[in-house]
Structures are given as structure tokens and as C-alpha cells.
A = this chain, B = another copy of it.
Amino acid sequence: MRNKDLIRTQRITEAESTAIFNELAKEGEGLVPVQRVKDLLSTNGISSEDPRLNGSLSLYSRLQKEPETMLNQSGFKQLLKHSDLVKRAFRKELVIPNFADFRNDVKEIFRKVEGNTGGEIDESLPHPDTGGDPAYAVSVCTIDGQLLQLGNHDLSFSIQSISKAVNYAIAREEVGRQKLHEHVGVEPGGENFDVGMVLNEDNLPHNPLINSGAMMTANFIKPEMGMDDRLQHVMQVWEDMMGKKEVEYKKESFEAERKGADKNFALAHLMKERGAFPEDTDLETVVSFYLKCCAIEVNIDDLAHAAATLANFGSCPSTGKKVFKHDTVRDTLSMMLSSGMYDHSGEFAFRVGLPAKSGIAGGIMIVVPELMGIAVYSPPLDSHGNSVRGVAFCEALVDRFNLHKYDAHYSWEHGKKDPRKRGD
């Protein structure tokens, strides 16, 4: 992993600028067409709509409207100097320096995984109409905002239990580690009502990513506000993580879940009976607020963007907005690693080794710390409630790249590729 701080502070030298200019303009004309800059950005996964390129005062913003413009050396150097993103793309300083290679690899994995047609769709939820074949999409967003989009990435779906991870982050940020964890544990387990104890030895939910713990956790988010304001607040955080993209609350999804919310009410009442909630807690509010957060709808690209904010330790890759503190993200990733994939969490942490959170609508949000966020969407679920293709994609991904938490970074014995490597 490169020391990004150092890299980011380094100024580009005249000599380097000249070399880049010469490389681009080497065909002898002494000029670089703006289109060529556009192409290079695109190859590196930088969207032409990236807000970092498109500030109203941005040089690049103005140039890109006229892609046929030819830049001379002075103009080109000015562009490099004023646009950090352009400069870093040219210098192979983006976090995935060879993005085109990476894209090809991921595309290959995506296709290979497509054949996994097993699993059952949870029909109690509304799903987008994809005319027969179940939806399948993957989106990657690096901490430098490099994007990769595969499959039906224009669909939107409800986040369901993925909300648990972000709600934990919100509550953890607002309430603090100590106070929050006086009310919810950090040990894995507790998914199953019949095996072992429903609550831990302190009569608390085992962790914030199982239903009981998720309700407990959500209950700490702006409890003084009304239901609508609380939901708006959570949606605002999601939008901040997504670089200001809009999310929607889908009432139909909420209503579908509210109807069959008996397990959640059972857990809520059990917790109240054991004194886990304050005396005057209204459980209808607890359960409904939790379920409303689950009914937030997102587009897969935006979900990857949100994941990238976590990968970037709380700073949104495109807007730079600091959404969560470092320690909030660290704890969120810890919880996702140990408990994010239902009863399959231990196996996933062992086999894939990445913090992730899945939802029964078919989405999975995966975080590769200091590298990228990934979102997979495919509704058919396995017996644990995780997207079949989602899990298969993650496994294939870590089989090709050294992304497992305990894959070595400076030994190549594992025979995997390192997407962070400049590979000069």
C-alpha cells in the first residue's frame, strides 16, 4: 500500500510535466487534444461528471466542453497544475494505477459468476422488474473515485439489513463507543432464536448487526426527533456517503416488512423484558424506525460510493466531505467483518476476509479499506440469506486479488494480483 500522504503532498516538477506532455503529444504535433485527456481520465475510471473535475471555476470543466481543443505545452502544464485529479491520473497516482487492467479482470470475474443461478428470491419484498432473469450488477468505487459499473446498474433496490451497518456507524459516531456498547455487544452470534442464547450474558443483543442489536442501535439515532425527521437524518447520511446522490424511502418495502415483523417485535419485547431498553421506550417506534431505514432504496453505483466512503475512513471520495470519524469506521468495519453476513459471517471472514454487509433484497456492500467500496446486487439468496452471486463474486475477487485481510502485500507467494501496484 503506497503512502498516499507523501504522494499527495508532492508537487509535480517541470521535468515531469514536460515528459508527460511529450508522451501525449509525441506524434510530433506539439499539441495535446483535450479529448485525449478525457480518454485518459475515462480509462482510469474517472467519470466525466466527477464533481472534482466540474467545479464552476475549474479549468478542466471549461475545457471539456470543447474536446476538440488542442492544448499547447503551457496550457497542458497549467491543467496539470490546477487539476489534482488530472495530474494524478497522468502520474499513475490514483489508488488503482492500472484501472483498465483491473476493469478487465473484474469484468471476467463478473461474467464467470453470472452462471451461478441458484438461490431463492425473497418474494415478500417488492423487486424491480427485470423481465424474467433476476437482476445482476456489480459496482466498484475506489477511494479516489474511480468507477467500474457492470450489469443492471440502473436498477434501485432496498438496502434492507445493509442499513444495520450504516445505522451502527451513525449511532457510533453520535453516541460514542463506550455509551453505545453499554447497550449492545460486539461478539458474533445470536442470529438464531433456537440455538444458544437470544441475548448475551448481560441480557444485551450480541452485536449491532443482528436484528435485536440493530433495533437497539437505531434507537440511539436522534431519539429526540420525530419519526420522519429521524428517517430524513439517516437518508442524509447515506446521501453524504454517496457524494450527494439522492436516496428514496420506499413505503411499499416498509409495509411489506412491517406486516411480517413478528420476529422483530418478539426480539424487541424480549429486550424490554430484560431491561435492555429504557422503561418508557415505545416498541412500535423502535421496530418501525428500524424497518423504515431498511426500506431506503439505492442505486448500486451509489451503494458502491457509500462503501468507498467507509473504505476511505469516512471521507466521501468525490466530495471530500468527512461523514464519519476514523474510529467510527474502524469499529464499523470490525463489526462487518465478524457479523455482516448472517450465519455465514465466520465462513465469509475466513474465506473472503473483507468487511461486508448483506441485505435480503439481494444487495451486498463490501469494503476494501484504503482501496475501494464494492456493491453487488443479485436477488436470489442462499440458505443464510446472502445473495448467491454476491458471495460467489466476493470469493472469486479475493482469489484473483490480494484483498483478503490476511493476504500479504509485499510477498507474491500467493500468486494474486495487487490492484494497488503501479507495475511500472
Contacts and interface: CB of A to CB of B under 8 A. Distances in A.
B338 A350 contact: yes
B187 A347 contact: yes
Contacts of A153: none
Given A198-B194, A262-B269, A327-B414, A186 B350 contact: yes
A92 to B, nearest CB: 14
Contact of A409 (B1, B193, B199): B1
A313 B350 contact: no
A4 B410 contact: yes
Contacts of A189: 188-189, 196, 346
A138 to B, nearest CB: 23
A123 to B, nearest CB: 16
Interface stretch (A30-38, A96-104, A400-408): A400-408
Nearest to A275: B262
A186 to B, nearest CB: 4
Interface stretch (A219-227, A240-248, A328-336): A328-336
A188 B346 contact: yes
Interface in A1-38: 1-5
B197 A196 contact: yes
A85 interface: no
A333 B349 CA distance: 11
B269 A413 contact: no
Contacts of A351: 186
A370 B1 CA distance: 12
B3 A410 contact: yes
Contacts of A196: 189, 195-197
Contacts of A180: none
Contacts of A197: 194-196
Contacts of A347: 185-187
A188 to B, nearest CB: 5
A249 interface: no
B313 A408 contact: yes
B266 A330 contact: no
A14 B350 CA distance: 47
A130 B252 CA distance: 57
A331 to B, nearest CB: 7
Interface in A244-263: 260, 262-263
A386 interface: no
A326 interface: yes
Interface string A258-294: 0010111111111011000000000000000000000
A412 B347 CA distance: 32
Contacts of A409: 1, 3, 370
Given A262-B270, A327-B414, A334 B313 contact: no
B406 A329 contact: yes
B410 A5 contact: yes
Contact of A326 (B263, B405, B414): B414
Contacts of A5: 410-412
A346 B187 contact: yes
A373 interface: no
Nearest to A264: B269
A348 to B, nearest CB: 10
A112 interface: no
A270 to B, nearest CB: 4
Given A2-B3, A186-B346, A186-B347, 15 more contacts: A1-B410, A3-B409, A187-B347, A194-B197, A262-B269, A266-B267, A266-B269, A330-B407, A334-B353, A334-B405, A334-B406, A337-B405, A338-B349, A338-B350, A370-B408
Closest 5 A/B residue pairs (Cβ): A196-B196, A187-B346, A262-B273, A266-B269, A265-B269
6 contacts: A185-B347, A189-B196, A334-B406, A369-B406, A369-B408, A370-B410
